[in-house]
Amino acid sequence: MEQSWRQAKSIFVTMLSAPLFWLVVFFMVPMAVVWLFSFGENRGVVDIAITGTWSNYAHALTPLYLGILWKSIWIAALTTFLCLVIAFPVAMAITFASEKYKAWLLLLIMLPFWTNLLIRTYALIAVLRHEGYVNSLLGMGWSGASHLVAAMGGHPLGDFQPLDLLYNNFAVIIGLVFVNLPFMVLPLYSTLDRMDRSLLEASMDLGGGHLRTVWNIMVPLAMPGIASGILITFIPALGSYLTPDMLGGPDSQMIANIIEGQFKGANNWPFGAALSFVLVYMTFIGIAIQGVIESRSKRERLA
């Protein structure tokens, strides 16, 4: 038995070595280099001296960049909230669907992952632009209503003015919800699918009603999935670059767009690295909060 365990450990180490090597060389080392850059100063076009200065972080905490960071947090929080509101009924529908349709519903949720984000963003532009599907449908409805009013003897409503649905904060939030919604649905479904359904039946038998059962029974049971969904939705939304870059206007830039500008446009890699690691530190805080919530939830279930 001891010999077989040693052999199993050697097989495990052998299988782990390749992905561990990849993780260290292509993730941890580059991240460490960028972290060192955040304590450096520009000495030339491509020359960065690691001096240990905190000036880059001090610059990142000035009112201008704190305002952009706060705006990014607000947009990411609103995106996460909308994803939660939309995803919870979807996850419930998948949970209570028959086994015949459950796999197909999950496939529809995961299908966007099989399409490049750039293509999905261009598709959303086709939907939201002035000549897009939304304004076309609204224009057809407006035209029909105008003809109806004229037929009833009233004055025509005039020409339809397309709505400005692109290149503003509205478009950015719609795009972020569109991109990140599956990240909220999947952990919610995973949690709801494992819950004890006898508790729901007991609540209904005691006259709780559907809404009260959902709020008082399902939501508390789904809290681990809600916490996980919030975390893995909020963090990508906060660090999103492509969606605000393509769907937003000059006043819709988020912190990731500012970081990109520091690396590419301003050629200020130390300051861009400091801004990047401000987001990394916030990510660590979010993961720590999620860990506390999960630990408290486990203690309450065991109590």
On whether the CB atoms of residues 60 and 274 are closer than 8 A, the answer is yes
**Closest-CA residue to 238 (of 219, 223, 263, 257):** 257
Dihedral in degrees, nearest 10, Cα atoms 183, 187, 190, 196: -140
Domain boundaries along the sequence of the chain: 33-115+166-302
pTM: 0.86
- Owner of token pair 């304004």: 135
The CA-to-CA distance between both ends of the chain, in Å, stands at: 38
Q: Which fold has domain 33-115+166-302?
A: MetI-like fold (1.10.3720)
Q: Per-residue pLDDT tens, the chain, 303 aa: give them.
A: 455 656 667 777 777 888 889 999 999 999 999 999 999 998 766 678 888 899 999 999 999 999 999 999 999 999 999 999 999 999 999 998 888 888 899 899 988 888 889 999 999 999 999 888 888 888 888 788 877 777 776 676 677 788 888 999 999 999 999 999 999 999 999 998 888 778 877 887 777 777 888 888 888 888 888 988 998 999 899 999 999 999 988 888 899 999 999 988 888 899 999 999 998 998 888 788 877 877 777 777 676
Amino acid at 289: I
**DSSP-derived secondary structure letter, 157:** -
